[in-house]
Amino acid sequence: MKLNLSTIDKLALMICGNSPYASDFPYRSSFYLTLFFRGIDQNYAHDGSTRNRWVSHVLEELNNGPVYTSGLPPEGIKRAIEYLLDPVHFTDHDHSDNSNAIEAVNRVLESEGLSVEKMDVNGNVILLQRVDGFVSTAKGSIKAKRVITFSPSVFDVPDEPMDNNLVSVMMPFEMSFDSVLASIKQSCAKVEMNCLRADDIWENSTIIQDVFKLIYCSSIVVVDFSGRNPNVFYEAGIAHTLGKNVIPITQNLDDVPFDLRHHRVLKYLDNTQGLDDLSSHLESRLKTLICLD
């Protein structure tokens, strides 16, 4: 998505620290405007023209750049907004923190269906899509009836945003499921999506943190209930709580928990023909969810 020009102009005034936002944002001279864009790896140097007009022009160029996350503006604009609110810019006696600046940015972004939210106690922010006035980590246009803010004590919330092209797989870490995983990855490849299981990554000291991060960053979660593995039940609960599109699969419908039997489940046989059928049906389901996005 691209931002409206009126939003671009307001963001330019904020970056400059000009009225009517001078009380919430630090003033930036020509030199510091150049430094600002270098801070987001953009090679722009202020040419001495009117500051806010020049910044608007730069933002318009970034507004035509590549989009990496569905529902959010181009990456250059996203990084500019998040860098604008970086706590490092709010350290003097006039701007001791970024709270007022965050409120000002959110008032401007409301009409775009966007919001910035603090990620941690240090004041770092992330740009998110709003759903019916609420911030949502869910993929697509799921409507939130009520917003819930929570801070998990067992997990660390990742800094990375959701990846619309990422499918995660929750299943037992057993060799007997390797052929099933291969079939799922084949389905994902056919629709040009990446597919990972938690043992494909090792970024944290605890496996459950890698699992949580993988679910958090995924747009779709495939859950295999075969064998009634308690870890898989736990991971399915995480995925549902985070509003992910969950695709349940199983070799035996009796393995699906009673509370989840109202969901449609892909049943498969663990043989060559059965796995081929699973791959085909899963590919169809993935295409449907992609179209709904």
In the chain the beta strands, taken as DSSP E runs, fall at 114-118, 125-131, 134-135, 163-170, 194-197, 218-224, 245-250, 266-267
Is residue 59 situated within a structural domain?
yes
What is the model's pLDDT at position 120?
61
For residue 193, what is the domain's CATH number? 3.40.50.450
Cβ-contact 211, 205 below 8 angstroms? no
Sequential pLDDT tens for the chain (293 residues): 899 999 999 999 999 999 999 999 999 999 999 999 999 999 999 999 999 999 999 999 999 998 877 788 999 999 999 999 998 888 775 666 788 999 999 999 988 889 888 876 667 888 888 655 444 455 443 444 445 556 677 778 887 888 889 999 999 888 999 999 999 999 999 999 999 988 877 777 678 888 999 999 999 999 999 999 999 999 999 998 888 899 999 999 999 887 776 678 999 999 999 999 999 999 999 998 877 55
Residue 160 vs residues 147, 156, 218: alpha-carbon distances, Å: 21, 12, 11
DSSP of 57-105: HHHHHHTTS---STTS--HHHHHHHHHHT-GGG--SSS-S-SHHHHHHH
Number of domains comprising the chain: 2
Two tokens at 232? 């898989």
Q: What pLDDT, on the 0 to 100 scale, is given for residue 144?
A: 41
Q: Are 174 and 239 in a shared domain?
A: yes
pLDDT on residue 104: 93
**pLDDT score at 145:** 42
- Whether residues 117 and 201 share a domain: the answer is no
Q: Look up the pTM and report it.
A: 0.52
83/178 same-domain check: no
* Separation CA 171–CA 226 (nearest Å): 8
* Whether residue 106 sits in one domain with residue 15: yes
Cis amide prior to 66 (ω within 30 degrees): no
Last residue of a domain, one of 83, 116, 135: 135
pLDDT at 131: 58
Q: Is residue 15 part of a domain?
A: yes
Residue 44's domain comprises: 5-135
In a domain, 140, yes or no: no
Sign of the dihedral defined by the CA atoms of residues 40, 42, 45, 51, in that order: negative
For residue 192, being part of any structural domain is answered with yes
pLDDT for residue 290: 79
88 plus 188 within the same structural domain:
no
pLDDT value, residue 33: 96
Q: Is residue 27 part of a domain?
A: yes
